[in-house]
Structure 1
Amino acid sequence: MTVVGVLHPGSMGAAVAAQARLGGAEVLWCPTGRSSETTERALRHGLSAASSLAELIERADVILSICPPEYAEDVAVEVSAHSFTGIYVDANAIAPATVACVHAIMSRTQGTVVDGSIIGSPPSASKSTRIYLSGPAEALPPVASLFAGTSVQVHSLPGGIGRASALKLSYSSYQKASRVLAAVSYALARDYGVEEELLDIAQGRTTSYLAETAYIPKVAARSWRWGPEMGEVAIALREAGLPTDLAEASAAVMSQWNDLKDSPSSITEALEHLHVAPDGDPG
Protein backbone atom coordinates (compact mmCIF):
# COMPACT_ATOMS: atom_id res chain seq x y z
CA MET A 1 0.00 0.00 0.00
CA THR A 2 1.31 3.43 -0.95
CA VAL A 3 1.62 5.79 2.02
CA VAL A 4 0.74 9.42 1.36
CA GLY A 5 1.44 12.31 3.71
CA VAL A 6 -0.61 15.50 3.40
CA LEU A 7 0.68 18.88 4.58
CA HIS A 8 -1.60 20.43 5.81
CA PRO A 9 -5.22 19.28 5.47
CA GLY A 10 -7.22 22.43 4.87
CA SER A 11 -10.54 22.17 3.04
CA MET A 12 -8.85 21.42 -0.30
CA GLY A 13 -5.96 19.37 1.07
CA ALA A 14 -8.18 17.12 3.17
CA ALA A 15 -10.61 16.53 0.30
CA VAL A 16 -7.84 15.67 -2.17
CA ALA A 17 -6.15 13.42 0.39
CA ALA A 18 -9.47 11.68 1.03
CA GLN A 19 -9.68 10.81 -2.67
CA ALA A 20 -6.21 9.26 -2.50
CA ARG A 21 -7.43 7.19 0.46
CA LEU A 22 -10.44 6.07 -1.57
CA GLY A 23 -7.98 5.09 -4.30
CA GLY A 24 -6.32 2.65 -1.91
CA ALA A 25 -3.53 4.65 -0.28
CA GLU A 26 -2.93 5.09 3.44
CA VAL A 27 -3.02 8.84 4.10
CA LEU A 28 -1.18 10.38 7.04
CA TRP A 29 -1.40 13.85 8.51
CA CYS A 30 0.34 15.47 11.50
CA PRO A 31 -1.92 16.96 14.23
CA THR A 32 0.95 18.86 15.92
CA GLY A 33 0.14 22.56 15.97
CA ARG A 34 -3.05 22.20 13.96
CA SER A 35 -6.43 23.60 14.98
CA SER A 36 -9.47 21.72 16.24
CA GLU A 37 -11.17 22.49 12.92
CA THR A 38 -8.32 20.80 11.05
CA THR A 39 -8.50 17.81 13.37
CA GLU A 40 -12.25 17.47 12.80
CA ARG A 41 -11.73 17.74 9.05
CA ALA A 42 -9.01 15.07 9.02
CA LEU A 43 -11.16 12.70 11.07
CA ARG A 44 -14.18 13.30 8.83
CA HIS A 45 -12.13 12.38 5.76
CA GLY A 46 -10.64 9.27 7.33
CA LEU A 47 -7.02 10.45 7.47
CA SER A 48 -4.61 8.70 9.86
CA ALA A 49 -2.75 10.77 12.45
CA ALA A 50 1.04 10.45 12.63
CA SER A 51 2.67 10.98 16.01
CA SER A 52 4.99 13.63 14.57
CA LEU A 53 6.07 15.28 11.34
CA ALA A 54 9.21 13.12 11.48
CA GLU A 55 7.10 9.93 11.51
CA LEU A 56 4.94 11.18 8.62
CA ILE A 57 8.00 11.97 6.51
CA GLU A 58 9.73 8.70 7.37
CA ARG A 59 6.71 6.59 6.40
CA ALA A 60 5.43 8.51 3.37
CA ASP A 61 6.21 7.46 -0.20
CA VAL A 62 4.51 10.59 -1.53
CA ILE A 63 3.96 13.92 0.22
CA LEU A 64 1.26 16.34 -0.92
CA SER A 65 1.91 19.97 -0.02
CA ILE A 66 -1.42 21.81 -0.26
CA CYS A 67 -1.29 25.01 1.76
CA PRO A 68 -1.66 28.80 1.36
CA PRO A 69 0.95 29.89 -1.22
CA GLU A 70 2.99 32.04 1.14
CA TYR A 71 3.89 28.96 3.20
CA ALA A 72 4.96 26.70 0.31
CA GLU A 73 8.69 27.27 0.71
CA ASP A 74 8.53 27.01 4.52
CA VAL A 75 6.77 23.63 4.26
CA ALA A 76 9.44 22.40 1.84
CA VAL A 77 12.16 23.49 4.27
CA GLU A 78 10.43 21.54 7.08
CA VAL A 79 10.24 18.41 4.96
CA SER A 80 13.81 18.65 3.65
CA ALA A 81 15.09 19.00 7.23
CA HIS A 82 13.96 15.40 7.77
CA SER A 83 15.81 14.12 4.67
CA PHE A 84 12.75 13.08 2.66
CA THR A 85 13.77 11.12 -0.44
CA GLY A 86 10.36 10.25 -1.89
CA ILE A 87 8.07 12.14 -4.29
CA TYR A 88 7.17 15.64 -3.10
CA VAL A 89 4.11 17.08 -4.88
CA ASP A 90 3.89 20.83 -4.51
CA ALA A 91 0.26 21.45 -5.44
CA ASN A 92 0.16 25.03 -4.25
CA ALA A 93 -0.85 28.10 -6.23
CA ILE A 94 2.68 29.44 -6.68
CA ALA A 95 4.71 30.92 -9.51
CA PRO A 96 7.08 28.78 -11.58
CA ALA A 97 9.98 30.68 -10.00
CA THR A 98 8.72 29.70 -6.55
CA VAL A 99 8.42 26.07 -7.66
CA ALA A 100 12.06 26.29 -8.71
CA CYS A 101 12.92 27.44 -5.19
CA VAL A 102 11.00 24.48 -3.75
CA HIS A 103 12.90 22.18 -6.12
CA ALA A 104 16.21 23.61 -4.94
CA ILE A 105 15.21 23.09 -1.32
CA MET A 106 14.15 19.47 -1.85
CA SER A 107 17.25 18.70 -3.95
CA ARG A 108 19.33 18.95 -0.79
CA THR A 109 17.95 15.56 0.30
CA GLN A 110 17.45 14.00 -3.14
CA GLY A 111 13.67 14.35 -2.96
CA THR A 112 11.85 14.25 -6.32
CA VAL A 113 9.66 17.31 -6.88
CA VAL A 114 6.46 17.12 -8.92
CA ASP A 115 4.81 20.42 -9.80
CA GLY A 116 1.05 20.22 -9.34
CA SER A 117 -1.89 22.54 -9.79
CA ILE A 118 -5.44 22.01 -8.58
CA ILE A 119 -8.27 23.47 -10.65
CA GLY A 120 -11.77 23.45 -9.21
CA SER A 121 -13.53 23.07 -5.87
CA PRO A 122 -12.63 20.41 -3.28
CA PRO A 123 -13.49 17.00 -4.77
CA SER A 124 -16.35 14.93 -3.39
CA ALA A 125 -18.69 12.12 -4.40
CA SER A 126 -20.67 14.62 -6.48
CA LYS A 127 -17.96 17.02 -7.63
CA SER A 128 -14.77 16.33 -9.59
CA THR A 129 -11.55 18.30 -9.50
CA ARG A 130 -8.61 18.45 -11.92
CA ILE A 131 -4.97 18.12 -10.91
CA TYR A 132 -2.33 18.95 -13.49
CA LEU A 133 1.17 17.51 -13.00
CA SER A 134 4.53 18.34 -14.52
CA GLY A 135 8.07 17.33 -13.70
CA PRO A 136 10.24 14.21 -14.03
CA ALA A 137 8.44 11.80 -16.36
CA GLU A 138 9.09 8.79 -14.13
CA ALA A 139 7.49 10.49 -11.11
CA LEU A 140 4.17 11.42 -12.71
CA PRO A 141 2.57 7.95 -13.10
CA PRO A 142 2.95 7.04 -9.39
CA VAL A 143 1.21 10.27 -8.41
CA ALA A 144 -1.52 9.85 -11.04
CA SER A 145 -2.17 6.28 -9.88
CA LEU A 146 -3.10 7.56 -6.41
CA PHE A 147 -6.31 8.99 -7.84
CA ALA A 148 -7.35 6.27 -10.29
CA GLY A 149 -11.12 5.81 -10.17
CA THR A 150 -11.68 8.80 -7.89
CA SER A 151 -13.19 12.27 -8.25
CA VAL A 152 -9.75 13.72 -8.96
CA GLN A 153 -8.98 13.86 -12.67
CA VAL A 154 -5.22 13.84 -13.25
CA HIS A 155 -3.70 15.45 -16.35
CA SER A 156 0.05 15.13 -16.96
CA LEU A 157 1.83 17.92 -18.84
CA PRO A 158 5.00 17.47 -20.89
CA GLY A 159 8.06 19.40 -19.85
CA GLY A 160 9.65 20.04 -16.48
CA ILE A 161 8.49 21.65 -13.28
CA GLY A 162 6.82 25.03 -13.61
CA ARG A 163 4.35 24.14 -16.35
CA ALA A 164 1.58 23.01 -14.00
CA SER A 165 2.00 26.09 -11.83
CA ALA A 166 2.04 28.34 -14.89
CA LEU A 167 -1.28 26.83 -15.98
CA LYS A 168 -2.78 27.37 -12.53
CA LEU A 169 -1.72 31.01 -12.38
CA SER A 170 -2.77 31.65 -15.98
CA TYR A 171 -6.25 30.50 -14.98
CA SER A 172 -6.21 32.26 -11.60
CA SER A 173 -5.09 35.58 -13.03
CA TYR A 174 -8.38 35.82 -14.91
CA GLN A 175 -10.76 33.83 -12.75
CA LYS A 176 -9.93 35.42 -9.40
CA ALA A 177 -9.28 38.93 -10.72
CA SER A 178 -12.68 38.83 -12.45
CA ARG A 179 -14.36 38.08 -9.13
CA VAL A 180 -12.65 41.08 -7.58
CA LEU A 181 -13.63 43.36 -10.45
CA ALA A 182 -17.25 42.26 -10.11
CA ALA A 183 -17.23 43.19 -6.40
CA VAL A 184 -15.73 46.62 -7.12
CA SER A 185 -18.31 47.20 -9.88
CA TYR A 186 -21.15 46.43 -7.50
CA ALA A 187 -19.66 48.63 -4.79
CA LEU A 188 -19.63 51.59 -7.20
CA ALA A 189 -23.15 50.86 -8.50
CA ARG A 190 -24.49 50.54 -4.96
CA ASP A 191 -23.05 53.93 -3.98
CA TYR A 192 -25.05 55.50 -6.81
CA GLY A 193 -28.19 53.41 -6.30
CA VAL A 194 -27.96 51.64 -9.65
CA GLU A 195 -27.07 48.11 -8.51
CA GLU A 196 -30.39 46.66 -9.74
CA GLU A 197 -29.80 48.11 -13.18
CA LEU A 198 -26.27 46.73 -13.25
CA LEU A 199 -27.57 43.31 -12.27
CA ASP A 200 -30.19 43.50 -15.04
CA ILE A 201 -27.48 44.24 -17.59
CA ALA A 202 -25.24 41.48 -16.26
CA GLN A 203 -28.02 38.89 -16.29
CA GLY A 204 -28.27 39.39 -20.02
CA ARG A 205 -24.73 38.03 -20.20
CA THR A 206 -25.05 34.67 -18.51
CA THR A 207 -21.32 34.03 -18.45
CA SER A 208 -20.56 37.24 -16.52
CA TYR A 209 -19.41 37.04 -12.90
CA LEU A 210 -21.39 40.24 -12.41
CA ALA A 211 -24.51 38.06 -12.39
CA GLU A 212 -23.15 36.05 -9.46
CA THR A 213 -23.57 38.55 -6.64
CA ALA A 214 -23.97 35.81 -4.03
CA TYR A 215 -20.34 34.85 -4.65
CA ILE A 216 -18.95 38.19 -3.46
CA PRO A 217 -18.98 37.27 0.28
CA LYS A 218 -17.19 34.02 -0.57
CA VAL A 219 -14.49 36.01 -2.36
CA ALA A 220 -14.15 38.24 0.71
CA ALA A 221 -13.83 35.26 3.07
CA ARG A 222 -11.18 33.60 0.90
CA SER A 223 -9.11 36.69 0.09
CA TRP A 224 -6.59 35.98 2.87
CA ARG A 225 -5.51 33.05 0.64
CA TRP A 226 -6.32 34.50 -2.77
CA GLY A 227 -4.36 37.74 -2.15
CA PRO A 228 -0.99 35.97 -1.79
CA GLU A 229 -1.89 33.84 -4.81
CA MET A 230 -2.25 37.02 -6.88
CA GLY A 231 1.18 38.03 -5.62
CA GLU A 232 2.49 34.81 -7.15
CA VAL A 233 0.63 35.64 -10.37
CA ALA A 234 2.49 38.97 -10.43
CA ILE A 235 5.83 37.15 -10.12
CA ALA A 236 4.94 34.92 -13.07
CA LEU A 237 3.77 37.85 -15.20
CA ARG A 238 6.89 39.89 -14.39
CA GLU A 239 9.12 37.00 -15.42
CA ALA A 240 7.26 36.81 -18.73
CA GLY A 241 7.63 40.55 -19.32
CA LEU A 242 3.87 41.13 -18.99
CA PRO A 243 2.03 43.84 -17.00
CA THR A 244 1.62 43.01 -13.32
CA ASP A 245 -0.69 45.89 -12.41
CA LEU A 246 -3.95 43.93 -12.34
CA ALA A 247 -2.53 41.12 -10.22
CA GLU A 248 -0.92 43.53 -7.77
CA ALA A 249 -4.01 45.70 -7.66
CA SER A 250 -6.23 42.64 -7.07
CA ALA A 251 -4.03 41.61 -4.14
CA ALA A 252 -4.30 45.13 -2.72
CA VAL A 253 -8.09 45.05 -3.04
CA MET A 254 -8.24 41.64 -1.38
CA SER A 255 -6.28 42.96 1.60
CA GLN A 256 -9.33 45.12 2.36
CA TRP A 257 -11.07 41.87 3.34
CA ASN A 258 -8.36 40.47 5.63
CA ASP A 259 -10.54 40.71 8.75
CA LEU A 260 -13.27 38.66 7.06
CA LYS A 261 -11.01 35.59 6.94
CA ASP A 262 -13.17 32.47 6.45
CA SER A 263 -16.11 34.40 7.95
CA PRO A 264 -19.59 34.37 6.43
CA SER A 265 -20.76 37.88 5.58
CA SER A 266 -23.49 39.60 3.66
CA ILE A 267 -23.01 41.20 0.26
CA THR A 268 -23.44 44.60 1.90
CA GLU A 269 -20.73 43.91 4.50
CA ALA A 270 -18.30 42.62 1.89
CA LEU A 271 -18.84 45.69 -0.30
CA GLU A 272 -18.50 48.09 2.64
CA HIS A 273 -15.02 46.68 3.33
CA LEU A 274 -13.92 47.85 -0.11
CA HIS A 275 -14.28 51.51 0.82
CA VAL A 276 -11.03 53.33 1.54
CA ALA A 277 -10.98 56.45 3.72
CA PRO A 278 -9.27 59.62 2.37
CA ASP A 279 -6.18 58.88 4.52
CA GLY A 280 -5.79 55.52 2.76
CA ASP A 281 -6.98 53.40 5.68
CA PRO A 282 -10.06 51.19 5.39
CA GLY A 283 -13.10 53.39 5.98
Structure 2
Amino acid sequence: MDQPTVGILHPGSMGAAVAACAETNSDAVLWCEDGRSTASVERAARFGLTSVATLVELLDRSDIVISLCPPAAAEDLARAVAGNRFTGVYVEANAINPERTKRIAAMLSDATVVDGGVVGSPPVRGKTPTLYLSGPADATARIEMLFANTAVQAVVLGTDVGKASALKLSYASFQKTSRALVALAIGMAREHGVDQELIEVASRRTDSYLSEPQYVATTAARAWRWGPELEEAADTLAAAGLPPEMLRAAASTLARWEDARDSELTLTDALDRLAQP
Protein backbone atom coordinates (compact mmCIF):
# COMPACT_ATOMS: atom_id res chain seq x y z
CA MET A 1 0.00 0.00 0.00
CA ASP A 2 1.25 3.50 -0.84
CA GLN A 3 2.23 5.59 2.14
CA PRO A 4 -0.17 8.46 2.91
CA THR A 5 0.54 12.16 2.83
CA VAL A 6 -0.25 13.75 6.19
CA GLY A 7 -1.18 17.33 7.03
CA ILE A 8 -0.66 18.75 10.54
CA LEU A 9 -2.81 21.62 11.84
CA HIS A 10 -0.75 23.18 13.46
CA PRO A 11 2.84 22.44 14.49
CA GLY A 12 2.90 23.56 18.12
CA SER A 13 5.22 21.82 20.56
CA MET A 14 3.03 18.70 20.63
CA GLY A 15 1.80 18.87 17.03
CA ALA A 16 5.24 19.22 15.47
CA ALA A 17 6.71 16.34 17.47
CA VAL A 18 3.74 14.06 16.73
CA ALA A 19 3.91 15.01 13.05
CA ALA A 20 7.61 14.14 12.95
CA CYS A 21 6.75 10.65 14.22
CA ALA A 22 4.07 10.31 11.52
CA GLU A 23 6.74 11.03 8.93
CA THR A 24 8.21 7.56 9.60
CA ASN A 25 5.29 5.86 7.85
CA SER A 26 4.13 8.59 5.44
CA ASP A 27 5.15 9.95 2.08
CA ALA A 28 5.37 13.49 3.51
CA VAL A 29 4.08 15.58 6.40
CA LEU A 30 2.76 18.98 5.33
CA TRP A 31 1.99 22.09 7.30
CA CYS A 32 0.49 25.42 6.25
CA GLU A 33 2.71 28.44 6.83
CA ASP A 34 -0.02 31.01 6.17
CA GLY A 35 -0.67 33.12 9.27
CA ARG A 36 1.66 31.17 11.53
CA SER A 37 4.28 32.66 13.84
CA THR A 38 8.04 32.76 13.42
CA ALA A 39 8.26 30.21 16.24
CA SER A 40 6.04 27.83 14.26
CA VAL A 41 8.19 28.26 11.15
CA GLU A 42 11.35 27.48 13.12
CA ARG A 43 9.73 24.53 14.89
CA ALA A 44 8.45 23.00 11.65
CA ALA A 45 11.88 23.36 10.07
CA ARG A 46 13.53 21.74 13.09
CA PHE A 47 11.24 18.71 12.79
CA GLY A 48 11.66 18.46 9.02
CA LEU A 49 8.06 19.20 8.05
CA THR A 50 7.21 20.30 4.50
CA SER A 51 5.73 23.78 4.14
CA VAL A 52 2.82 24.58 1.82
CA ALA A 53 1.46 28.03 1.15
CA THR A 54 -2.24 27.57 1.85
CA LEU A 55 -4.73 25.39 3.70
CA VAL A 56 -6.32 24.50 0.34
CA GLU A 57 -3.03 23.07 -0.93
CA LEU A 58 -2.50 21.11 2.30
CA LEU A 59 -5.97 19.58 2.09
CA ASP A 60 -5.69 18.80 -1.62
CA ARG A 61 -2.46 16.88 -1.06
CA SER A 62 -3.25 15.16 2.27
CA ASP A 63 -4.83 11.77 2.82
CA ILE A 64 -4.82 12.23 6.60
CA VAL A 65 -5.10 15.50 8.52
CA ILE A 66 -4.26 15.73 12.22
CA SER A 67 -5.69 18.67 14.16
CA LEU A 68 -3.66 19.64 17.24
CA CYS A 69 -4.36 23.22 18.26
CA PRO A 70 -5.53 25.20 21.33
CA PRO A 71 -9.00 23.94 22.37
CA ALA A 72 -10.75 27.23 21.60
CA ALA A 73 -9.71 27.04 17.94
CA ALA A 74 -10.77 23.43 17.27
CA GLU A 75 -14.19 24.12 15.72
CA ASP A 76 -13.06 27.10 13.65
CA LEU A 77 -10.26 24.99 12.22
CA ALA A 78 -12.62 22.10 11.48
CA ARG A 79 -15.06 24.52 9.86
CA ALA A 80 -12.32 25.77 7.53
CA VAL A 81 -11.44 22.20 6.60
CA ALA A 82 -15.11 21.31 6.03
CA GLY A 83 -15.50 24.38 3.81
CA ASN A 84 -12.88 22.92 1.50
CA ARG A 85 -14.73 19.58 1.35
CA PHE A 86 -11.85 17.49 2.63
CA THR A 87 -12.61 13.78 2.01
CA GLY A 88 -9.75 12.03 3.80
CA VAL A 89 -9.29 11.00 7.44
CA TYR A 90 -9.48 13.87 9.93
CA VAL A 91 -7.98 13.15 13.35
CA GLU A 92 -9.57 15.52 15.88
CA ALA A 93 -6.81 15.24 18.49
CA ASN A 94 -7.49 18.39 20.51
CA ALA A 95 -8.22 18.50 24.24
CA ILE A 96 -11.93 19.20 23.80
CA ASN A 97 -15.02 17.68 25.38
CA PRO A 98 -16.80 14.75 23.72
CA GLU A 99 -19.83 16.83 22.65
CA ARG A 100 -17.62 19.26 20.76
CA THR A 101 -15.84 16.34 19.12
CA LYS A 102 -19.18 14.95 17.96
CA ARG A 103 -20.19 18.36 16.59
CA ILE A 104 -16.96 18.51 14.64
CA ALA A 105 -17.55 15.00 13.28
CA ALA A 106 -21.00 16.07 12.07
CA MET A 107 -19.54 19.23 10.54
CA LEU A 108 -16.95 17.27 8.53
CA SER A 109 -19.56 15.26 6.65
CA ASP A 110 -17.28 14.64 3.63
CA ALA A 111 -14.40 13.30 5.76
CA THR A 112 -13.94 10.29 8.02
CA VAL A 113 -13.44 11.65 11.54
CA VAL A 114 -11.32 9.89 14.14
CA ASP A 115 -11.48 11.11 17.74
CA GLY A 116 -8.01 11.37 19.27
CA GLY A 117 -6.52 12.28 22.63
CA VAL A 118 -2.81 12.55 23.42
CA VAL A 119 -1.80 11.59 26.95
CA GLY A 120 1.79 12.36 27.90
CA SER A 121 4.55 14.75 26.91
CA PRO A 122 5.62 15.51 23.31
CA PRO A 123 7.58 12.57 21.79
CA VAL A 124 11.07 14.04 22.13
CA ARG A 125 14.09 13.11 24.27
CA GLY A 126 12.82 9.60 24.92
CA LYS A 127 9.21 10.52 25.80
CA THR A 128 6.55 8.13 24.49
CA PRO A 129 3.04 9.62 24.68
CA THR A 130 -0.05 7.58 23.89
CA LEU A 131 -2.49 8.66 21.19
CA TYR A 132 -5.87 7.20 22.11
CA LEU A 133 -8.25 6.78 19.18
CA SER A 134 -11.94 6.08 18.69
CA GLY A 135 -14.01 6.07 15.53
CA PRO A 136 -14.58 3.98 12.39
CA ALA A 137 -12.44 0.84 12.54
CA ASP A 138 -10.84 1.21 9.10
CA ALA A 139 -9.79 4.77 9.87
CA THR A 140 -8.40 4.06 13.34
CA ALA A 141 -6.43 1.15 11.86
CA ARG A 142 -4.85 3.57 9.37
CA ILE A 143 -3.77 5.87 12.20
CA GLU A 144 -2.37 2.89 14.12
CA MET A 145 -0.28 2.02 11.05
CA LEU A 146 0.81 5.64 10.69
CA PHE A 147 2.43 5.58 14.13
CA ALA A 148 3.66 1.98 14.12
CA ASN A 149 7.23 1.66 15.44
CA THR A 150 7.42 5.32 16.48
CA ALA A 151 7.58 7.11 19.84
CA VAL A 152 3.81 7.71 19.66
CA GLN A 153 1.86 4.69 20.88
CA ALA A 154 -1.55 4.51 19.19
CA VAL A 155 -4.28 2.71 21.16
CA VAL A 156 -7.81 2.16 19.81
CA LEU A 157 -10.66 2.42 22.33
CA GLY A 158 -13.51 1.44 20.02
CA THR A 159 -15.72 2.89 17.33
CA ASP A 160 -17.60 5.55 19.33
CA VAL A 161 -16.45 9.10 18.60
CA GLY A 162 -16.04 10.86 21.96
CA LYS A 163 -14.36 8.06 23.90
CA ALA A 164 -10.81 9.24 23.22
CA SER A 165 -11.70 12.82 24.15
CA ALA A 166 -13.34 11.64 27.37
CA LEU A 167 -10.28 9.62 28.40
CA LYS A 168 -7.92 12.51 27.64
CA LEU A 169 -9.95 14.97 29.71
CA SER A 170 -10.51 12.49 32.56
CA TYR A 171 -6.77 12.12 32.94
CA ALA A 172 -6.08 15.84 32.44
CA SER A 173 -8.67 16.77 35.08
CA PHE A 174 -6.71 14.89 37.73
CA GLN A 175 -3.18 15.60 36.59
CA LYS A 176 -3.53 19.33 35.94
CA THR A 177 -5.73 20.07 38.96
CA SER A 178 -3.23 18.22 41.16
CA ARG A 179 -0.41 20.41 39.87
CA ALA A 180 -2.45 23.56 40.61
CA LEU A 181 -3.10 22.28 44.16
CA VAL A 182 0.65 21.81 44.69
CA ALA A 183 1.25 25.46 43.76
CA LEU A 184 -1.45 26.64 46.16
CA ALA A 185 -0.17 24.46 49.01
CA ILE A 186 3.40 25.72 48.61
CA GLY A 187 2.20 29.30 48.18
CA MET A 188 0.22 29.06 51.43
CA ALA A 189 3.18 27.54 53.27
CA ARG A 190 5.57 30.20 51.92
CA GLU A 191 3.32 32.98 53.18
CA HIS A 192 3.84 31.60 56.68
CA GLY A 193 7.53 30.77 56.32
CA VAL A 194 7.13 27.01 56.33
CA ASP A 195 7.48 26.19 52.63
CA GLN A 196 10.79 24.35 53.04
CA GLU A 197 9.30 22.32 55.87
CA LEU A 198 6.31 21.44 53.66
CA ILE A 199 8.61 20.32 50.87
CA GLU A 200 10.60 18.21 53.35
CA VAL A 201 7.42 16.57 54.63
CA ALA A 202 6.29 15.90 51.06
CA SER A 203 9.66 14.39 50.11
CA ARG A 204 8.84 11.43 52.35
CA ARG A 205 5.92 10.62 50.03
CA THR A 206 7.44 10.21 46.59
CA ASP A 207 4.10 9.05 45.20
CA SER A 208 2.70 12.58 45.59
CA TYR A 209 2.99 15.51 43.17
CA LEU A 210 3.69 17.60 46.27
CA SER A 211 7.16 16.00 46.37
CA GLU A 212 7.97 17.73 43.03
CA PRO A 213 7.82 21.46 43.92
CA GLN A 214 10.13 22.36 41.05
CA TYR A 215 7.31 21.43 38.66
CA VAL A 216 5.31 24.47 39.81
CA ALA A 217 7.35 26.65 37.42
CA THR A 218 6.64 24.23 34.56
CA THR A 219 2.94 24.37 35.44
CA ALA A 220 3.03 28.17 35.26
CA ALA A 221 4.64 28.09 31.82
CA ARG A 222 1.98 25.70 30.53
CA ALA A 223 -1.00 27.31 32.26
CA TRP A 224 -2.18 29.10 29.09
CA ARG A 225 -2.83 25.64 27.57
CA TRP A 226 -3.87 23.76 30.69
CA GLY A 227 -6.55 26.21 31.85
CA PRO A 228 -8.73 25.80 28.73
CA GLU A 229 -8.33 22.01 28.97
CA LEU A 230 -9.72 22.10 32.50
CA GLU A 231 -12.67 24.20 31.32
CA GLU A 232 -13.35 21.52 28.71
CA ALA A 233 -13.13 18.86 31.42
CA ALA A 234 -15.48 20.88 33.63
CA ASP A 235 -18.02 21.00 30.80
CA THR A 236 -17.71 17.22 30.47
CA LEU A 237 -18.39 16.79 34.19
CA ALA A 238 -21.40 19.09 34.02
CA ALA A 239 -22.81 17.14 31.05
CA ALA A 240 -22.51 13.96 33.13
CA GLY A 241 -24.33 15.52 36.10
CA LEU A 242 -21.11 15.69 38.12
CA PRO A 243 -19.99 18.87 39.94
CA PRO A 244 -17.65 20.95 37.75
CA GLU A 245 -16.74 23.63 40.30
CA MET A 246 -13.40 22.13 41.38
CA LEU A 247 -12.05 22.07 37.82
CA ARG A 248 -13.32 25.59 37.10
CA ALA A 249 -11.53 26.81 40.23
CA ALA A 250 -8.31 25.11 39.08
CA ALA A 251 -8.66 26.76 35.67
CA SER A 252 -9.13 30.12 37.42
CA THR A 253 -5.94 29.49 39.41
CA LEU A 254 -3.99 28.70 36.24
CA ALA A 255 -5.33 31.88 34.64
CA ARG A 256 -3.14 33.86 37.05
CA TRP A 257 -0.16 32.62 35.03
CA GLU A 258 -1.66 33.58 31.68
CA ASP A 259 1.23 35.93 30.87
CA ALA A 260 3.88 33.32 31.76
CA ARG A 261 3.33 31.55 28.44
CA ASP A 262 6.24 29.15 27.82
CA SER A 263 8.49 31.27 30.08
CA GLU A 264 11.47 29.87 31.97
CA LEU A 265 10.53 30.74 35.54
CA THR A 266 11.98 29.77 38.89
CA LEU A 267 9.77 28.37 41.63
CA THR A 268 9.99 31.75 43.39
CA ASP A 269 8.95 33.60 40.22
CA ALA A 270 5.96 31.31 39.73
CA LEU A 271 4.78 31.66 43.32
CA ASP A 272 5.21 35.45 43.16
CA ARG A 273 3.03 35.64 40.05
CA LEU A 274 0.45 33.36 41.63
CA ALA A 275 0.17 35.64 44.68
CA GLN A 276 0.30 38.91 42.71
CA PRO A 277 -0.97 38.35 39.17
Taking structure 1 as the reference length, the TM-score comes to 0.95
What residue number does 1:81 align with?
83
**Structure 1 CA distance for aligned equivalents of residues 273 and 47 of structure 2:** 34
CA contact (8 A) 1:93 1:168 kept: yes
Structure 1 vs Structure 2: percent identity of aligned residues? 49
- 1:55 partner SS: helix
What residue number does 1:248 align with?
248
Over the residues paired in the alignment, what is the CA RMSD in angstroms? 1.1
* Most deviating of 267-276 and 158-167: 267-276
Deviation at residue 136 of structure 1 after TM alignment = 1.1
**Structure 2 CA distance for aligned equivalents of residues 70 and 189 of structure 1:** 35
What residue number does 1:181 align with?
181
CA contact (8 A) 1:25 1:146 kept: no
Deviation at residue 25 of structure 1 after TM alignment = 3.5
* Most deviating of 97-106 and 176-185: 97-106
5 Å-filtered alignment, 1:16-95, equals 16-95=18-97
Gaps of 5+ in 2: none
What residue number does 1:279 align with?
none
**Structure 2 CA distance for aligned equivalents of residues 170 and 83 of structure 1:** 32
CA contact (8 A) 2:5 2:26 kept: no
Gaps of 5+ in 1: 277-281
What residue number does 2:4 align with?
2
What residue number does 2:273 align with?
273
**Structure 2 CA distance for aligned equivalents of residues 62 and 221 of structure 1:** 31
**Which of 102, 105, 127 is residue 104 of structure 2 equivalent to?**
102
Cα deviation code 1:190-213 (max 9, x no counterpart):
000001111111111101111111
CA contact (8 A) 2:224 2:258 kept: yes
**Structure 2 CA distance for aligned equivalents of residues 105 and 271 of structure 1:** 43
CA contact (8 A) 2:227 2:254 kept: yes
- 1:263 equivalent in alignment to 2:263: yes
* Most deviating of 118-127 and 199-208: 118-127
- 1:273 partner SS: helix
**Which of 14, 17, 23 is residue 16 of structure 2 equivalent to?**
14
What residue number does 1:220 align with?
220
**Structure 2 CA distance for aligned equivalents of residues 266 and 116 of structure 1:** 34
Q: Where in structure 1 do 4 or more consecutive aligned residues deviate above 6 Å? A: none
- 1:54 partner SS: helix
**Structure 1 CA distance for aligned equivalents of residues 30 and 268 of structure 2:** 41
Deviation at residue 264 of structure 1 after TM alignment = 1.2
Deviation at residue 24 of structure 1 after TM alignment = 3.5
CA contact (8 A) 2:6 2:26 kept: no
Q: 1:124 to 1:25 in 2, by over 3 A?
A: farther
Amino acid at match of 2:42: E
- 1:17 partner SS: helix
Deviation at residue 101 of structure 1 after TM alignment = 1.5
Deviation at residue 170 of structure 1 after TM alignment = 0.6
**Structure 1 CA distance for aligned equivalents of residues 177 and 184 of structure 2:** 11
CA contact (8 A) 2:95 2:169 kept: yes
Amino acid at match of 2:150: T
Cα deviation code 1:89-145 (max 9, x no counterpart):
0111111011012112212xx111100000111113622111000011121111111
- 1:126 equivalent in alignment to 2:126: yes
Amino acid at match of 2:163: R
Deviation at residue 51 of structure 1 after TM alignment = 2.0
The alignment of Structure 1 onto Structure 2 pairs a total of residues equal to: 275
Taking structure 2 as the reference length, the TM-score comes to 0.97
**Structure 2 CA distance for aligned equivalents of residues 112 and 129 of structure 1:** 24
**Structure 2 CA distance for aligned equivalents of residues 247 and 219 of structure 1:** 15
Deviation at residue 275 of structure 1 after TM alignment = 2.1
